[in-house]
Amino acid sequence: MTLSQILTPSIEKAIHALFDITIEKVEFQSTRKEFEGDITMVIFPLLKVIKSNPVELGNKIGNYLVENVAEVSRFNVVSGFLNIVISDEHYLNFFNAIKDDAKFGIKSPNPNDKAVLVEYSSPNTNKPLHLGHVRNNLLGYSVAEIIKASGKKVYKTQIINDRGIHICKSMLAWQKFGNGETPESTGQKGDKLVGNYYVAFDKAYKQEIAQLMSEGKTEEEAKKQAPIIIEAQEMLLKWEAGDEEVISLWKTMNQWVYDGFEITYKNLGVDFDYYYYESNTYLLGKDVVQIGLEKGIFEKDPDGSVWIDLTDEGLDRKIVLRSDGTAVYMTQDIGTAIQRVKDLPDVGGMVYTVGNEQDYHFKVLFLILKKLGFDWASSLFHLSYGMVDLPSGKMKSREGTVVDADDLMQEMTDTAQKISEDLGKLEGYSDEEKLKLYTTIGLGALKYYILKVDPKKRILFDPEESVDFAGNTGPFIQYTYARIQSIIRKADFDFTGTSTITELHEKEKELLKQLELFPEVIQNAAHHHSPALLANYTYDLVREYNSFYQAVPILGEENLDKKVFRVQLSKKVADTIAVSFKLFGINVPERM
């Protein structure tokens, strides 16, 4: 329980006993650094119902708490703020209860609760994963893990965009320019090979447009009449008609891409429980449109197209079926959501990890599903995130200048190697140990840098800055973890069992206060779908630990009881860092 949870009933009881009044809410805030106290009650809201001056009111409540609540040792009142000092005994009892609990902060799922499905990644099969996918994957994976840690059953899924004109462009370019090459014959990852042909198509397309424009066509005419785009469109029609040769090539090239994706996912440290493919889902939802028409939710225009009018909700009219009877993306997403609940009947909510350019789409989708009467539609969330830029500027995949996810991960490892070598901290490491450490530091830096930022904010990602061993970075936190492991290795005495100390140093108490927040932070991060809340908590914990480390001796402490307690406290901080970083998919090194 948090301090506010412990104190609220006692304060409510105090106010009732002193003033015969029942209040709806007790307002707390952190105690300001210049005043003594572990938590502060805000007195001002009470003045509306109790005629008193704030200082007198605060003193009456404070005295009641000291006399009646074991956890409260003393207090002070500053203006309208009651600063409450919590006893050392409370913090020691808390620590002894959690010090050997490997699952501290992690809540077991309630089998009666509904599950949450988290969708992320959802790439196209015509190019490798890029920097934007990296943020998507890291956010989706971490949010899934945090929701799981908060006590929910979670399914991780993605829908792969494996059909459409963009796929046909890569396929056609491979037919024209590929000379039968394969990932095996070239030694290239399949997703990169297919991506190269997507770029090759665009290059040939531009040349044909330029040629047609030189012959007097307008740009718009040239774009439509270029032979290569006409061929791609014909290939798409053949795919939709089930042409065996086209389908065979489509399956082959898609498999190259899937094999490449799996390597990237493994290196990035993310996974999935279920896969959906657009080639299987693009017809879903069409039958739902008929149901919606019968219920009067949708309306049919004279040309046969079907729409939903959301103008009363401040949105616009949205098409759900074209006049020729073909589905649009909205129809497909409606059908896919319904299909997922059929496939996984215990799902009671879904999280869609998709960039903020799709904010409007998801407002409409969620509203339509609610109107269709699905009870789980009120538990849908769009995990909307901003773009990731590098100092060199925005990425463009069609021109072949995309920041490749594999290349970025390698660059992070290389950057970690350069900075580690410059710091000269790796004496006695084998080459294999060094490489593993560089990867741990590099990927930790990448993940933490991205996850510490509120998902809604745009990120300017600087690889060098992210691998800094000081400040709010992954390597700084990893280094603190490794430092604690070094202390544990050097402790040549038994530090198991329960410490018998009765008083705390100020720095020990501050550290325990920070640890006590951990379960609540996980719940908040899950509720707000924000790994940033947990990341920044972990940084604050590490800063508090380093302040403790600088202020008090640990292994150099002469009193054995104090020494045992400080090693135990250090170990619990390290364990909490490891649990937190595991929820981000970040490894922690034993030595650094």
Average pLDDT value for residue range 266-281: 95
What tens digit of pLDDT does each residue of 184-238 get?
999 999 999 999 999 999 999 999 999 999 999 999 999 999 999 999 999 999 9
What tens digit of pLDDT does each residue of 116-131 get?
999 999 999 998 998 8
In this predicted structure, the answer to whether residue 301 has a pLDDT above a threshold of 90 is: yes
Backbone angles phi, psi at 158, to 5 degrees: -145, 155
Average pLDDT value for residue range 375-394: 87
> DSSP character for 42?
E
Q: Is residue 116 part of a domain?
A: no
Given 32, 67, 86, the domain boundary residue is: 86
| Domain that includes residue 438, residue range | 405-582
Q: Which of 158-167, 201-210, 256-265 has the lowest mean pLDDT?
A: 158-167
pLDDT of 399 reads 46
pLDDT of 400 reads 46
Given 41, 59, 86, the domain boundary residue is: 86
Percent of the chain residues past pLDDT 70, beyond the cut: 98
Average pLDDT value for residue range 273-280: 94
What tens digit of pLDDT does each residue of 466-508 get?
988 889 999 999 999 999 999 999 999 999 988 889 999 999 9
Query: pLDDT averaged over the chain?
Result: 94
| Band (401; pLDDT cuts 50, 70, 90) | low
Helix ranges, 215-285 (H): 219-225, 227-240, 244-268, 278-281
Q: Is residue 25 part of a domain?
A: yes
Q: Is 337 exposed, middle or buried (0-12, 13-18, 19+ CB in 10 A)?
A: buried
CA distance 141 to 124: 19
Residue 545 and residue 445 share a domain: yes
CA distance 561 to 435: 40
What tens digit of pLDDT does each residue of 22-60 get?
998 999 999 998 999 999 999 999 998 998 999 999 999
Residue 508 and residue 409 share a domain: yes
Which secondary structure element, helix H or strand E, spans residue 381, and what is its range? strand 380-385
Residue 290 and residue 265 share a domain: no
Residue 171 and residue 37 share a domain: no
CATH number of the domain bearing residue 8: 3.30.1360.70
Residue 448 and residue 314 share a domain: no
Helix (H, G, I), strand (E, B) or coil at 96: helix
Helix (H, G, I), strand (E, B) or coil at 118: strand
Q: Are 229 and 223 in contact (CB under 8 A)?
A: yes
Given 86, 102, 124, the domain boundary residue is: 86
> DSSP character for 404?
B
What tens digit of pLDDT does each residue of 65-105 get?
999 999 999 999 999 999 999 999 999 999 999 999 999 99
What tens digit of pLDDT does each residue of 514-541 get?
999 999 999 999 999 999 999 999 999 9
Residue 182 and residue 51 share a domain: no
Average pLDDT value for residue range 351-358: 96
Residue 176 and residue 55 share a domain: no
CATH number of the domain bearing residue 514: 1.10.730.10
Q: Copy the structure tokens of residue 80.
A: 């309208």
Kind of pairing, strands 299-300 and 306-309?
antiparallel
In this predicted structure, the answer to whether residue 396 has a pLDDT above a threshold of 50 is: no
Q: Is residue 376 part of a domain?
A: no
pLDDT of 402 reads 64
Helix (H, G, I), strand (E, B) or coil at 460: strand
Average pLDDT value for residue range 316-322: 94
Residue 241 and residue 308 share a domain: no
Residue 303 and residue 171 share a domain: no
Q: Copy the structure tokens of residue 566.
A: 């400080």
Residue 432 and residue 563 share a domain: yes
Q: Is residue 281 part of a domain?
A: no
Q: Is residue 46 part of a domain?
A: yes
Helix (H, G, I), strand (E, B) or coil at 52: coil
Q: Is residue 68 part of a domain?
A: yes
Q: Is residue 517 part of a domain?
A: yes
Helix (H, G, I), strand (E, B) or coil at 473: coil
The region that residue 127 occupies, defined by phi over 0 for left and psi between -120 and 50 for alpha, beta otherwise, is beta
Q: What is the pTM of this model?
A: 0.92
Placement of tokens 């202020």 in the chain: 551
Average pLDDT value for residue range 256-269: 97
Q: Is residue 357 part of a domain?
A: no
Residue 231 and residue 190 share a domain: yes
Look at the chain and report how many structural domains it folds into.
4
Residue 305 and residue 202 share a domain: no
Give the residues across from 84 on adjacent strands: 39, 75
